Amino acid sequence: MRGNVISYFEMCQKEGTSLQRGMNFRLRGRHSVILMSLHANAPYQDRIEDDGSILIYEGHDEPRNNGLRNPKSVDQPEHLPSGNLTENGKFHKAALDFKAGLKNPDIVRVYEKIKKGIWSDNGYFHLIDSWREPDGSRNVFKFKLAAVEGIINDEAAEDIQADETKRTRIIPTKIKLAVWKRDRGKCVECGAVDELHFDHIVPFSKGGTSLSTENVQLLCARHNLAKSAKIL
């Protein structure tokens, strides 16, 4: 569920693999997974646009184990020395194929690092565009992803067209951090510290905002489900 607070170990369990890279193209041949961070000291310049409905994700650098002292001194790679595509190249090709009308948009699940040991499941996105741009000293990849709702799993998502899904929004990092601090990392109803969820007090679908701490709270899974049942 979008907004679930999870650990790194739980993320790996959910995806069935060790997520040692920030970009993971089509795990087990299905959806892709990316790890993001909007902290000031994050290694890449990711950003959120359109009040949380669009993620602009920066590609990844040449690995240091290739003997490169400063990966940020060279362009982000599209190909490996073997000629095969890097993760940048795979995401880039998938986005351009979608733009050319050759395929449906790739499904990407996004996890965001909130603070050390704390991650948020930002849900599913469509990969809808990709380009390269200069960052002042070299060229980097940028990937445009649109947050979508109604996708429960990648099996259900494979045949969904881009215009058949509803756009949604994620809660901005600064709001999550402020809510986490205010609610002391506990469910506001019972004080539980596990299976937590960033919950919209007034749901986004009913006009609630993601941009105010007053409309976001921490709930455990039990109280989140109980609240959802009441709303339905």
The per-residue pLDDT for 157 is: 47
pLDDT tens column, 107-135: 999 999 988 888 999 999 999 999 999 99
Helix (H, G, I), strand (E, B) or coil at 44: coil
Name the residue with higher pLDDT: 75 or 29: 75
Instruction: Write out the CATH class of domain 5-169.
Output: mainly beta
pLDDT tens column, 172-231: 889 999 999 999 999 999 999 999 999 999 987 788 888 899 999 999 999 988 886 565
What pTM did the predictor assign? 0.86
CA distance 72 to 137: 8
> In angstroms, how far is the first alpha carbon of the chain from the final one?
17
Averaged pLDDT score across all residues of the chain: 88
Q: Would you list the domain boundaries of the chain?
A: 5-169, 171-232
47-49 and 54-58 strand pairing: antiparallel
